[in-house]
Amino acid sequence: MREIRGKKALVTGAASGIGRAIALELAREGVALFLVDIDEAGLATVADVCRKSGVEVIQRGCDVGLSSQISATVAAILERWGGVDILVNNAGITYYGRTEDMSAEHWDRLLRVNLQSHIQFTRELLPSLLARREAHVLNVCSMFGLVGMPKLAAYCTTKFAMVGFSDALRAEYGRDGLGVTALCPGFVSTNLFASAPLGEKSKEHKLPPKLLCTSPEKVARAAVRAIRRNRRMVVLAPTARLLVGVKRFVPWLLDFLFHLGRRQRIERKMTRIEAERRERRAA
């Protein structure tokens, strides 16, 4: 899709973070936008900024964790535009904590928002996408869809699934003019992890240093380039490329680093327990 000016796009999770940045970048490129998010106040602000680029912008509150709201949103798109040329599956949430602390409700919500919603939007919009001479699906995945991480089991599960979903769609519909991209950024300066629910045994979020983070704007520019060039996969940021390379060529090193961290935590815990015992004896 070399020319995107005048196209129509749906962006989910558009009120903040990567979704917001992609919406703004598409607006600057002259793309009409249908923006959805559960945060209607934030969505209204983004929509107003996008309109300054002179494009049509429609906003709609939608909890993508609810199938009925997704279907209603798709019906509104088909009624207004007859479909879209670009689908950006971006909405996502996470949970930070040990897997045994996650409830069935946590798993269900994460799977519905991060995976099932994207599948449903794609499935219901697929006929209109295929009716276009050319169209594109951009799935915002993550480096955690390529490399597993401790305390992010559910998030990694959904992102690995989205990478596979992207590959399968591209293999099945690529010859029909449908481009599909799996966008896999590394750490990004958003509030995704800072706002995530914590497990019972996790005292705080382990946020990456800012030096290791890329900006949502850089991710958005890469996303638009990927749409234009019909890239299969885009891995963004040095940290992401490094981790993916380590997993591919020296996977034992990842195991070593994870186990090293575990040993260090155990040693700190034992040191603390021993200090408490000495204090009690002294008392």
Question: Do 191 and 275 sit in the same domain of this protein?
Answer: no
Question: Do 220 and 279 sit in the same domain of this protein?
Answer: no
Of the segments 72-81, 191-200, 235-244, which one has the largest average pLDDT value? 72-81
Question: Do 220 and 236 sit in the same domain of this protein?
Answer: yes
For 151: left if phi > 0, alpha if psi spans -120 to 50, otherwise beta; the answer is left
Helices (H), the chain: 17-28, 40-51, 67-80, 104-111, 117-131, 153-173, 216-229, 238-249, 251-282
Query: Is residue 3 in a domain?
Result: no
Question: Do 168 and 126 sit in the same domain of this protein?
Answer: yes
96 annotated active-site: no
Query: The tokens 């940290």 sit on which residue?
Result: 239
Determine the pLDDT at residue 260: 67
Domain membership of residue 268 as a residue range: 251-283
Query: Is residue 241 in a domain?
Result: yes
Question: Do 262 and 182 sit in the same domain of this protein?
Answer: no
pLDDT at 187 > cutoff 80: yes
Instruction: Dump pLDDT digits (tens) for 2-37.
Output: 899 999 999 999 999 999 999 999 999 999 999 999
Determine the pLDDT at residue 202: 46
Q: What is the mean pLDDT of the chain?
A: 89
Determine the pLDDT at residue 182: 98
Instruction: Dump pLDDT digits (tens) for 254-264.
Output: 777 777 656 56
Give the CATH number for residue 157: 3.40.50.720
Question: Do 179 and 165 sit in the same domain of this protein?
Answer: yes
| 277 band by pLDDT with thresholds 50, 70 and 90 | confident
Question: Do 189 and 75 sit in the same domain of this protein?
Answer: yes
Question: Do 236 and 276 sit in the same domain of this protein?
Answer: no
Instruction: Dump pLDDT digits (tens) for 85-138.
Output: 999 999 999 998 899 999 999 999 999 999 999 999 999 999 999 999 999 999
Question: Do 198 and 218 sit in the same domain of this protein?
Answer: yes
- Specify the number of domains making up the chain: 2
Q: Which of 95, 96, 155, 173 is catalytic?
A: 155
Better-scored residue on pLDDT, 201 or 245: 245
Question: Do 268 and 239 sit in the same domain of this protein?
Answer: no
Question: Do 143 and 268 sit in the same domain of this protein?
Answer: no
Take residue 219 and report the two structure tokens written for it: 């991710």
The answer to whether residues 20 and 80 touch, using CB atoms and an 8 Å cutoff, is: no
